[in-house]
Amino acid sequence: MLGLGLSFWAGSALTALPNEGGGGFSPASLFASGESGVWYDPSDLSTLWADTFGTTQAVLGGAVARMDDKSGNGNHVTQDTFAARAILRQSVAGEYYLEFDGVDDYLLTAAGILGGAATVFTLAAGVSTEGGAGTSGNDRPLSLGNATLGTAGGSARETFGQAQDGSLRYDGAFTAGALSLPSEFVRLSSRNGGSVLDMINAAESIGATATLVSTIDEVAICAPAGAAYAQANIHGVIVINRVLTAQEISDTETYLAEKAGVTL
């Protein structure tokens, strides 16, 4: 593949959907060597909680205060403020997701989940929206570090984020060539030192080389940039402190596509 192609990257009666994707793939295999990161799966209802302590199971149509990490690293994502919690929903087709309202909803991990100064990592998310994917570069369904929240602090830069206008944000700036996203998409973005690769629905959208600072690495789901929040439905999230092989990328995209009802 040209440029930075794939070859570069060495309490409810509901029944949850299967955790595996096509061909029996499970994201657990990505963490088999003890890699740092997170894996969130809203279709696994046993991982969703109505309180941050994990004592009361979340229910369909109810607020979610905590979503457990299935990577084995224990990096659960939480929200203390009731009004800022996403809602557990199920689509007509049967997919479970967390609905973020675009007003004040977000989820955030503790800081340092990739070691505190990561320069090599992959972010992947399955996302759907009710009114199109949005046009703002400040609306970011998935990011590492945040300019407003967590240990990033008010004066620090949000260091790596997938924006809903199709751009990719890193080191406090947007990449060129923002594109219109579909209303359902799987996005996989990798950073390997100074090289960046971005895939939308299994097609390369951005390949860039830049001098990048190490990241402030709390995982933020729909967290704000300033006053902007992403209005999005999150069907699955994977963040890991390495780039993936071509086969792992394909498997991960297929897995998230099945979760989000996306046709790749």
Q: What are phi and psi of 24, to 5 degrees?
A: 80, 10
Number of domains in the chain: 1
- Residue 41 in domain: no
Indicate whether 76 belongs to any domain: no
Residue 72 is assigned to a structural domain of this protein: no
Report yes or no on 244 lying in a domain.
Answer: yes
Any idea what the Cα angle at residue 101 is, between residues 95 and 105, rounded to 5°? 105
Is there a domain that residue 17 lies in?
no
CATH of residue 256's domain is: 2.60.120.200
Please, which residues have CB within 8 angstroms of residue 260's CB and are 6 or more apart in sequence?
95, 97, 126, 127, 128, 184, 185, 186, 235, 236
Residue 151: give the domain boundaries.
Answer: 101-260
| Mean pLDDT for back-to-back runs of 10 residues, the chain (264 residues) | 32 39 82 97 98 98 98 96 97 95 91 81 90 68 68 50 82 63 91 86 80 74 81 96 96 96 91
Residue with token string 């299994």: 202
pLDDT at 180: 75
φ and ψ at residue 246, rounded to 5 degrees: -60, -40
Question: What are the backbone angles phi and psi of residue 40, rounded to the nearest 5°?
Answer: -115, 135
The string of DSSP codes covering the chain is: -TTT-GGG-------PPPS--GGG--GGGGGTT---EEEE-TT-GGGEESSTTS-SB--TTSEESEE---SSS---EE---GGG-EEEEE-TTS-EEEEEESSS--EE--S-TT-SS-SEEEEEEEEE-SS-S-S-TT--SEEES-SSSGGG-TTSPP-EEE-TTS-EEETTEEPS---PPPSEEEEEEEEETTEEEEEETTEEEEEEE---PPP---EEES--BTTB--EEEEEEEEEESSPPPHHHHHHHHHHHHHHHT---
- Asked if residue 48 belongs to a domain, the reply is no
> Does some domain include residue 55?
no
Residue 217, in any domain of the structure: yes
The pTM assigned to this predicted structure is: 0.87
pLDDT in the model for residue 1: 30
Q: Choose among 114, 142, 126: nearest CA to 186.
A: 126
The answer to whether residues 199 and 249 touch, using CB atoms and an 8 Å cutoff, is yes
